[in-house]
Chains A and B, each alone.
Chain A
């Protein structure tokens, strides 16, 4: 089983719908992150969480919200999806410290029509 699991892997939704992307990890890490990947833009940080009670906005948090339900679970919500939120979304985890590597899920491909 993967250390970082994202569900669903693919999703098509309509404009204005609420959608939740889920992430769970078995690494035992405190830190979890949500990124979106767009061609030519690399990965951009949406939200990150250092522990269950700590949630921080990243560089592109507008239109998104998150919930850290447990150490192992971190979900991303789009309250009212719009077409420019069509992207590949990645969840990642890491141990404490800026020198530690991030472990990524396989991604969720979201299409908003």
Chain B
């Protein structure tokens, strides 16, 4: 069965500092990986996704993530954060066994301080 672990529940960081939000997954088959962002009082929206090919994936708002198959990780990074990046971030995995089964992690709350 699939599972997703987001290693940090909260990440405080100062504005313009780099940030990494960690995500590990487990699955017995090949997977697709996603990062979603949830701003206050809103639904989730897609930041980026890894389907195949290059392991470094670039998304919206300057975020990028790297797929590491050997470590079963898909960490999200941004070299310089802004106050407006304050939000909750969810890692998700979807498998290829047919049908749909997307599993979400518990979320990481990023808090950017001035």
Q: How far is the CA of A104 from the CA of B102 in the complex (A)?
A: 14
Name the contact of A99 in the complex, choosing from B41, B51, B107 (C-beta under 8 A): B51
- A60 part of interface (Cβ distance < 8 Å): no
List residues 10-68 of chain A with CB under 8 A from any CB of chain B.
31, 35, 40-45, 48, 50
Q: How far does the Cβ of B80 sit from chain A's closest Cβ, in whole Å?
A: 26
Q: How far does the Cβ of B23 sit from chain A's closest Cβ, in whole Å?
A: 11
Contact: B44 with A90, CB < 8 Å? yes
Q: Count residues on chain A whose CB falls below 8 Å from chain B CBs.
A: 22
Q: Count residues on chain B whose CB falls below 8 Å from chain A CBs.
A: 26
Contact: A102 with B41, CB < 8 Å? no
Contact: A98 with B94, CB < 8 Å? yes
- B63 part of interface (Cβ distance < 8 Å): no
Contact: B43 with A94, CB < 8 Å? no
- C-beta contact mask, B103-114 vs A, less than 8 Å → 1, else 0? 011110000000
Q: How far does the Cβ of A55 sit from chain B's closest Cβ, in whole Å?
A: 13
Contact: B100 with A98, CB < 8 Å? yes
Query: Known: A42-B90, A43-B90, A99-B49. Contact between A104 and B95, CB under 8 A?
Result: no
Name the contact of A4 in the complex, choosing from B41, B43, B94, B104 (C-beta under 8 A): B43
Query: Known: A90-B43, A99-B32, A106-B41. Contact between A41 and B106, CB under 8 A?
Result: yes
Query: Known: A42-B105, A42-B106, A43-B104. Contact between A107 and B43, CB under 8 A?
Result: yes
Name the contact of A48 in the complex, choosing from B34, B95, B100, B106 (C-beta under 8 A): B100
Q: How far is the CA of A85 from the CA of B114 in the complex (A)?
A: 37
Q: How far does the Cβ of A6 sit from chain B's closest Cβ, in whole Å?
A: 8
- B55 part of interface (Cβ distance < 8 Å): no
Name the contact of B95 in the complex, choosing from A45, A90, A98 (C-beta under 8 A): A98
A101: nearest chain-B partner, CB-CB: B46
Q: How far does the Cβ of A78 sit from chain B's closest Cβ, in whole Å?
A: 20
Given A98-B102, A99-B49, A104-B43, 4 more pairs with CB closer than 8 A:
A40-B9, A41-B106, A98-B96, A102-B44
The 8 A-B pairs of least Cβ separation, nearest first, read A104-B43, A42-B106, A43-B104, A98-B94, A101-B46, A42-B104, A104-B44, A99-B32
